[in-house]
């Protein structure tokens, strides 16, 4: 067998299953209600919107952070320790982000399944501030399917569902 090559290392693995490299997208790729985004962004501006002291003494903070890349900017809703990373001028890596709708406008957010960290290898780029995807208002349009067109409205009568006397037993007052 040939000697092992020192130039290529095997990919990291969890329980014997090799991990796939992360796929990064751009701000211009973001769509309403989409999730699982990995982005490399630059922090443009950060505004603390809420700071609330809880009864247990801890503080809950929420900030609107304008972040962007060479394709546009988006507002990132940062919470607690995420705010400390999102200082203007910092380059950050956002993993497993989702797009939430806030008053019909897009907001990027990261929950407990994702993270925001400083970019260990930042590539400097100019942020395209002309394309603000959070400034575009979206309208929810109901699309009727072919089966629903002309179909009668569903009724919620009968004995099924919640309430009424058609439940699973009860006090034993009614024996059928």
Nearest to 137 by CA among 101, 104, 98, 108: 104
Please tell me the predicted confidence (pLDDT) of residue 164.
Answer: 53
Per-residue pLDDT tens over the stretch 21-79 = 888 889 988 888 888 999 999 999 998 898 889 899 888 999 999 999 999 999 999 99
Q: Are 118 and 63 in contact (CB under 8 A)?
A: no
12-33 pLDDT, tens digit per residue, is 666 777 778 888 889 988 888 8
User: 86 near 46, Cβ under 8 Å?
Assistant: yes
């Amino acid at each position: 067998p040939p000697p092992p090559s020192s130039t290529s290392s095997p990919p990291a693995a969890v329980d014997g299953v090799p991990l796939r490299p992360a796929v990064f997208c751009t701000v211009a790729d973001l769509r309403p209600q989409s999730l699982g985004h990995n982005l490399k962004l630059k922090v443009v501006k950060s505004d603390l919107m809420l700071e609330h002291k809880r009864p247990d003494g801890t503080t809950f903070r929420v900030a609107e952070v304008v972040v962007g890349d060479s394709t546009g900017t988006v507002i990132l809703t940062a919470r607690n320790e995420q705010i400390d990373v999102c200082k203007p001028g910092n380059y950050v890596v956002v993993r497993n982000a989702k797009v939430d709708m806030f008053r019909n406008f897009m907001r990027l957010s990261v929950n407990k399944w994702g993270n925001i960290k400083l970019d260990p290898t930042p590539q400097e780029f100019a942020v395209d501030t002309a394309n603000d995807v959070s400034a575009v208002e979206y309208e929810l349009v109901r699309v009727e399917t072919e089966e629903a067109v002309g179909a009668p409205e569903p009724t919620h009568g009968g004995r099924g569902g919640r309430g009424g006397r058609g439940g699973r037993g009860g006090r034993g007052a009614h024996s059928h």
